[in-house]
Structure 1
Amino acid sequence: MRSLRMAIRDWVQAFVAAIQFLTRIPLPYTFTYTDDHFRRSVIFYPFAGLLIGVIVSIAGSLLDSVFPVFICGIILVALWTSLSGALHLDGLMDLADGLLSHRSRERMLEIMKDSRVGAMGVIVCVFYVLLKTALVISLLEDRNLEWLLLLQLIPVWSRSFMVTAIAGWPYARKGQGLGALYRSVGWKHAFISGIGAAIISTAIIFPLGSWSTAEAGIVLLSMALVTYGIGAGVASAVSRKLGGLTGDVYGALNECIELGLLAALAGYAYNLG
């Protein structure tokens, strides 16, 4: 019985570690972090994304009745970003500064590690936020609550792929930083995380949407294909440049996947919805 209580405690702490690391959502629970907590916590990344998505979608449904869609879109993107403490957006800016410097591999890694943001990082951030805001506004203009259901799944899938990236590509900094924390993350963690994202999506898409079973299945499959298509493509391209991935790259992958999923939804709504 005592071992069961300890096991439950360890998994609860791993869940809390995922929420506290990936979000700024306060949880009244403190404990001493260990490598084991971080390693186990990766399977809960989709659930951290779900919390962000649910808060954003609820805010969207409330704001839609109060403000014009342009104001709603700006507020939602600001909320979306702040819920993660701009952690992943910072990674995108650092990656842009490094890769777009067109320096040697070692120099690019040094630039990415610098806490200062360069011109390329700022430029990429501005265009990213503008495009993300425009995509959210385009979905809100349709005034279809089902888009808000799908909107809350975007952070789920983007954070699920982060675990695949950790397991599937080498760490570029020779075990420093996140490499030390995640050194034991493997394909079983990536598989469990992916299954978690699929279960969450199924629980939302099938009972809450008005799609038929076939349509809901296509929506689910499409989100998975877009996620892993963009994620694998970007991760492979960056890994060839840097000799692996870093914590900044994980964050950038999250942002690229979120933008890709938003673009897919907005494109569908505009052309076929």
Structure 2
Amino acid sequence: MKRGLEAAAAAFQFLSRFPVKSGGDFSPELLQRSTVYYPLVGLAIAAVVWPAAYLSALLLPPFPAAVLVLMLWVWLTGGLHLDGWMDSADALLSYRSRERMLEIMKDSRVGAMGVIACVLLLLLKVSLIYTVIDEKLWSTALLLPLLWSRWFMVAALSGWPKARQGEGLAGQFHTLRGREAGLAALLAAMLSVLLALLNPAVLMSPFMAAFLVIPVLSWIIGKWTAQRISQRLGGLTGDVYGALNELLEALLLLAVVLLHRLLL
């Protein structure tokens, strides 16, 4: 029990700004055990973001409410994944050699492509939050994208080689295997079932399909993207894991909005 709590606390400390304390030493062994709880961190962030969106919508017009909610969303993650998104965009969209792309990712400065990619991503997210607020698409399915995007980070950590063996943040997870990804998937599935049960109206509607589609989409989109990037870099890096999370968050939320329009 103590080891599990320590690992869960490490996951929250690593991926979020939640005030969680742990006696862990952030050793590679603890970091690897903590990956099992990544979906729980995603759910916790979503459980703050969407109630905040609902409350903001009671006081403000949809657009300023959406912007404030996005600010909260970014703050809760500490911008960790956005940083990876920008660095990955700078490198992968430079169309340079593998070695040069890895050097660009290590550079602390942000280039033009990183800024453009960040602006476009944030515009997509704020437009989706606006749509949720404006059309009152409230459902526990909104929590799924943040949950399953973080599960795929665990799948990517264990399923593809590291571009820099033993180097950088990704090097801390170099011995991670499929067991952690399987346990994270089991936790994500259990949490998804719980979310469906908490929203009985969804169980009796066609929108129940979202609880099946989102996990499948997270795997299909994530696998295709990770495979393409791995082919170019010879593996994945810490920045790429963050970029995968940002991409999946946005596209899975887009899928939830589309499914709501198509099915209800």
Q: TM-score range by the shorter chain?
A: over 0.9
Residue 35 of structure 2 aligns to which amino acid in structure 1?
A: V
Cα offsets for 1:173-194 (capped at 9, x unmatched): 1121233311221111111111
Give CA-to-partner distance per residue, 1:66-122, whole Å, 9 cap, x none: 111111111111111110101001100000000111110000000011010000000
Shift of 1:28: 3.5
2:213 corresponds to which of 214, 222, 232: 222
Structure 1 residue 231 displacement after superposition: 0.5
Contact 2:24 2:30 in 1 (8 A): no
Aligned to 2:158: 167
Q: Does the Cα contact within 8 Å between 2:162 and 2:171 map onto a contact in 1?
A: no
SS of equivalent residue, structure 2 residue 59: coil
Q: How many residues align?
A: 264
Q: Which runs of 5+ in 2 are unaligned?
A: none
Partner amino acid, structure 2, of 1:180: G
Matches within 5 A, 1:110-125: 110-125=103-118
- Deviation digits for residues 193-248 of structure 1 (CA, Å, limit 9, x no counterpart): 11111111110112324023674652211011111111111101100110100000
Q: CA deviation at 1:272?
A: 4.0
Select between 201-210 and 164-173 the one with higher mean Cα deviation: 201-210
Q: Is the 8 A contact 2:141 2:211 kept in 1?
A: no
With the length of structure 2 as denominator, give the TM-score of the two structures.
Answer: 0.95
Structure 1 counterpart of 2:211, one-letter code:
L
Counterpart-to-counterpart distance in 1, 2:4 and 2:256: 34
Pick aligned residue for 1:87 from 62, 80, 89: 80
Taking the TM superposition and a 5 Å limit, the aligned residue runs for 1:1-273 are: 8-146=1-139, 149-212=140-203, 215=206, 217-273=208-264
Superposed CA RMSD: 1.5
Contact conserved, 2:81 with 2:243, CA < 8 A, in 1?
A: yes
Calculate percent identity across the aligned residue pairs: 41
CA contact (8 A) 2:141 2:210 kept: no
SS of residue in 1 equivalent to 2:18:
coil
Q: Distance in 2 between matches of 1:209 and 1:125?
A: 37
- The one-letter code matched in structure 2 to 1:10 is R
Say whether the 8 Å CA contact 2:35–2:184 is kept in structure 1: yes
8 Å contact kept, 1:74–1:133 = yes
Whole-Å Cα distance in 2 between the matches of residues 250 and 103 of structure 1?
Answer: 20
